[in-house]
Amino acid sequence: GDGQNLVTEDVTVVEGDVATISCRVKNSDDSVIQLLNPNRQTIYFRDFRPLKDSRFQLVNFSNSELRVSLTNVSISDEGRYFCQLYTDPPQEIYTTITVLVPPRNLVIDIQKEIAVEGEEIELNCTAMASRPATTIRWFKGNKELTGKSEVEQWSDMYTVTSQLLLKVGREDDGVPVICLVDHPAVKDLQTQRYLEVMYKPQVRVSQNYPVQGLTREGEPLELTCAAFGKPQPTDMRWLRVDDEMPQHVVVSGSNLLISNLNKTDNGTYRCEASNAVGKSHADYMLFVY
């Protein structure tokens, strides 16, 4: 049968690495083994190399094996290589060299550098010039998200771009978005960008005095307003809902002080804070005992 006495394996190699081709004889009868390239030129005839390409080197030669290494493999080396055995009739089998190319680089592009909470932003991740085409995966923090990929082919190479649409909230501020590549030629290739999300203030009113317990007539009341946002709120004000602020109320920055409570002070006191994104408030209901 054709090539029944010969054994070889296909070779997959990353561009620039070394490919090793092995032509083995199962039952040796001292016949000559030779290796031919895809153009059917002889690379090795026994342990002699007629081909002038010094990237081919002999690794092992015996009656039962011809093993040859090819250094600095490039895409042009891909194809079928033939193992031949000079018997009568001659026997031949082929091995295929496949060359993998890792993506050249990985870039995330964010359509808006700074987003506002509730907004949907678009991110694109591009893996340039690989083969085969890469698979792109997205993560926000450690949660996997689903993007939409497009593949472009340029001669033997593939460029993949994945688009991710992301609705952002305040909890996403400072969170990394990671673009990760699945490809047989590389391990752990990823890149990331940190989200920057602006959000309107969060406002909180706390009672400093009395520390616990009742707001009694004749005693003081001190409230503090705290506001956080991005950007940090610059404008903060106190007002009394549905009524005028009593004359004896002292407002100093974020603090509100009533030194001598009486029943006419009953009502809802509101702290409002605003920034470039919007305005928020928190209410404190006062009942004087």
10 φ/ψ angles, rounded to the nearest 5 degrees = -70, 155
Give the single-character DSSP code of 131: B
Strand partners, 179: 138, 191
- Closest by CA to 121, choosing from 162, 150, 180, 164, is 164
Q: Which domains does the chain have, with CATH numbers?
A: 6-100 (2.60.40.10), 105-188 (2.60.40.10), 200-286 (2.60.40.10)
Q: One-letter amino acid identity for 187?
A: K
Question: What six digits make up the tokens of 46?
Answer: 């026994």
- Answer yes or no: are the C-beta atoms of 160 and 149 closer than 8 Å: yes
Q: How far is CA 212 from CA 205, 207, 216, 219, 284, in A?
A: 15, 8, 12, 13, 15
Q: How far apart are the C-alpha atoms of 228 and 72, rounded to whole Å?
A: 58
Q: One-letter amino acid identity for 235?
A: D
pLDDT at res. 3: 53
Give the chain's largest Cα–Cα span: 119
Q: One-letter amino acid identity for 31?
A: S
- Closest by CA to 101, choosing from 179, 160, 184, is 184
How does pLDDT run across 247-282, given as a tens digit for each residue? 999 999 899 999 999 999 999 999 999 999 999 999
Q: How far apart are the C-alpha atoms of 59 and 81, rounded to whole Å?
A: 16
Question: What six digits make up the tokens of 265?
Answer: 């002070």
pTM of the model: 0.80
Q: What length does the chain have?
A: 289
Question: What six digits make up the tokens of 47?
Answer: 């342990």
Q: What pLDDT tens digit does each residue of the chain (289 aa) get?
A: 455 789 999 999 999 999 999 999 998 888 999 999 999 999 999 999 999 999 999 999 999 999 999 999 999 999 999 999 998 888 999 999 999 999 989 999 999 999 999 999 999 999 999 999 999 999 999 999 999 999 999 988 999 999 999 999 999 999 999 999 999 999 989 999 999 999 999 999 999 999 877 999 999 999 999 999 999 998 899 999 999 999 999 999 899 999 999 999 999 999 999 999 999 999 999 999 9
